[in-house]
Structure 1
Amino acid sequence: MKKNVAIIAGGDSSEIVISLKSAAGLSTFIDKERYNLYIAILKKNEWIVELPDGTNTVIDKNNFSFQEKGVGKKFDFAYITIHGTPGEDGRLQGYFDMIGMPYSSCNALVSAITFNKFVCNNYLKGFGVKVADSIRLFGGESADTDEVVSRLGLPLFVKPNVGGSSFGTTKVKSAGQLQEAIAHAFAEGEEVILEQFIAGTEVTSGCYKTKEKAVLLPLTEVVTDNEFFDFDAKYNGQVDEITPARISSEMTAKIQEETSRIYDLLGATGIIRIDYIIQATGEPVMLEVNTTPGMTTTSFIPQQIHAAGLDIKSVMTEIIEDALLRRK
């Protein structure tokens, strides 16, 4: 009997628009001959499932079940593609753990750690991972401009500490821009991170592991004329994404090995993507870890899977079946 798979989209942040695009991508990537696919959209006050006839039905939060044509149904697996709260910060993972639902991404603890950029980077720094220097601000907390510039230099980045898709992010090039940039970032979240700017070549590295194997995907090089890899660069085509990246095989292997090491240090599961800057000195600096990477048809991970010569439906099946096996 075919298993029921929920593609979990939506969320409570500005990234909902990207989440819905990822859900549409996943609905073409996952094998429909093997699984019954449903898109479940989770918002703060509304959890629904889109049915094949175009109607919606409410999800029972007690066990994540739903009704279709008067028949009660339950899901066998959840593929989480919410970018932001509650699907990327561990809250949804904790819920699924409590009801015994297998899912695609990292567990609640790992998701919570990686969602908080400052916590994640400083955790990994303790294991020798090279990261940019940063300062964290909590809601209502101020920063002295002179002290920040003295420590981090200019330019520097100001962004929400928990969030993605570059919402609320500013590249600050002068001291006079700092306070406005902090206010802009606080509009997106309760914590803000001020981060040292690292010049160099930006690359991103995808990886997934199952009980049977580890797959280190080709790197993608990110080239944009914008100030940084912002929302327009990510989603409005103002970027060149080159896969495989135009770097040496030695550097590629070094970054892939570091991605694999970070995967294990975190205890990650499913597909993750890690962003780096390769400095002019040849030293890669880790920017951040993404445990629910975008899965639109043009996102990095699908590009890297294609460049690796892999079939994306087979990869999705591996992810799903491995998670189901771990639950037995």
Structure 2
Amino acid sequence: MKNIAVIMGGYSKESSISLKSGNTVYKNLCNKQFHSYCVYIFKDEWFMKDENNTKYPINKKDFSVNMENKSLKFDCIFNAIHGTPGEDGMLQAYFDLLNIPYTGCNFYQSNITFNKKYCLNILRHFGINTAKSVFLNKNQKINKKIILDKIGFPCFVKPNKSGSSLGVSKVFVEKNLNNAMDEAFKEDEEIIIQSFLKGKEVSVGVLKFKNEILVLPITEIISQNEFFDFESKYSGKSKEITPSKLAYHLENKIKYIAKKVYRIFNLSGITRSEYIIVNGKPYFLEINTIPGLSEDSIVPKQFKIAGISLSDVFCDEINRSIEQKT
């Protein structure tokens, strides 16, 4: 049987969510096909825990574990780390150097989709609708007049490379812009300021399953807060309707765009993209290449409606990842 490391944790504030996702993966992996192990990756420590909760340090030279005087090596990595270093390409590059198969996107795909500036600019080139935006870095002289003229209020201020809406603010008046920018700069050295789009927000999972690109049932998101922020996502302050009650033609349009985005970036694994529908026209917001996989997350609910078990999806991901490396 193959040895599978389910990696979880990470270096960002999303680590607590990643631990839930990782545990969901671990519990749903078929023990008749795989020996599964929980591996925790944090800034100060990489380690594996066995069933008795005993910790074993990871040897970073070859991502192995010395267990009872035997070296345990992994045949595949199931990546359940949201944010850095699991979603931005850092670990993907590391595993590529070690020639260890892993689930999800490769370094290039992960890095470019995690970077909002690159992601949005590429999609605009392919005719995907997006909000107007301005990109800034910490060392740049900021011309507020250009921002105000192009973007206006209300607007969103976001870190360029961050997930789970961390560091994101909705700004209604100019006097609050500096504070919002300071919050975003705490998460990243680059930020994006986007125009506000008023409409219906939806989320749609897309993945490769049994060698076909599959678009999952769409979820409509109704947040109790000003937008679908961290609290809305993980503290129950949003209503998520799956499947959404969209008109048939609009549902098909969003599914077509979501599949097109997946193909544009030549993505792999499970993804979730988000859109705002304004006057019947979908606008792309962002894409997550390592979406939440806990029981409360959106994508597992979409799998349930689609009649697909998590076990089948996770096993398919692992087997395809191993086949691609051989």
Name the residue aligned to 2:88.
89
SS at match of 2:270: strand
**1:112-133 deviation digits (Å, cap 9, x = unpaired):** 0001011101111101111111
Residue in structure 2 matched with residue 72 of structure 1 by the alignment: 71
CA distance in structure 2 between the partners assigned to 1:113 and 1:153 by the alignment:
27
Contact 1:145 1:178 in 2 (8 A): no
Counterparts of residues 1-328 of structure 1 (less than 5 Å): 2-210=1-209, 212-279=211-278, 281-328=279-326
- State how many pairs are aligned: 326
Q: CA contact under 8 A between 1:210 and 1:322: conserved in structure 2?
A: no
Q: In the alignment, residue 102 of structure 1 is paired with which amino acid?
A: P
35-44 vs 239-248, which moves further:
35-44
Partner amino acid, structure 2, of 1:294? G
Q: Quick one: distance in 1 between partners of 2:319 and 2:247?
A: 35
Q: Which letter does structure 1 place at the counterpart of 2:193?
A: L
RMSD of the TM alignment (CA)?
1.2
Between 1:41-50 and 1:73-82, the stretch displaced more is 41-50
Q: Distance in 2 between matches of 1:186 and 1:33?
A: 47
d(CA) in 2 for partners of 1:310 and 1:283? Answer: 29
Instruction: Give the C-alpha shift of residue 214 in structure 1.
Output: 2.0
Amino acid at match of 1:289: I
DSSP 3-state at the match of 2:113 = helix
* Stretches of structure 2 lacking an aligned partner (at least 5 in a row): none
Report the residue type matching 2:305 in the other structure. Answer: A
Question: Would the aligned equivalents of 2:210 and 2:316 in 1 still touch at CA under 8 Å?
Answer: no
Per-residue deviation, 1:134: 0.9
Any idea what SS the aligned residue of 1:250 has? helix
User: Is the Cα–Cα contact under 8 Å of residues 118 and 134 in structure 1 kept in the other structure?
Assistant: no
Whichever residue aligns with residue 137 of structure 1, its letter is L
Farther off after superposition, 204-213 or 249-258: 204-213
Q: Secondary structure at the match of 1:270?
A: coil
Can you list the C-alpha shifts for 1:79-130, whole angstroms capped at 9, x where unaligned?
Answer: 1111111111111001111111111110000100001011101111101111
Residue deviations 1:172-195, cap 9 Å, x none? 011111011001110111111111
Runs (4 or more) in structure 1 with deviation over 6 Å come to none
CA distance in 2, matches of 1:270, 1:291: 8
Normalising by structure 1, we get a TM-score of 0.96
C-alpha contact (below 8 Å) 2:169/2:180 kept by paired residues: yes
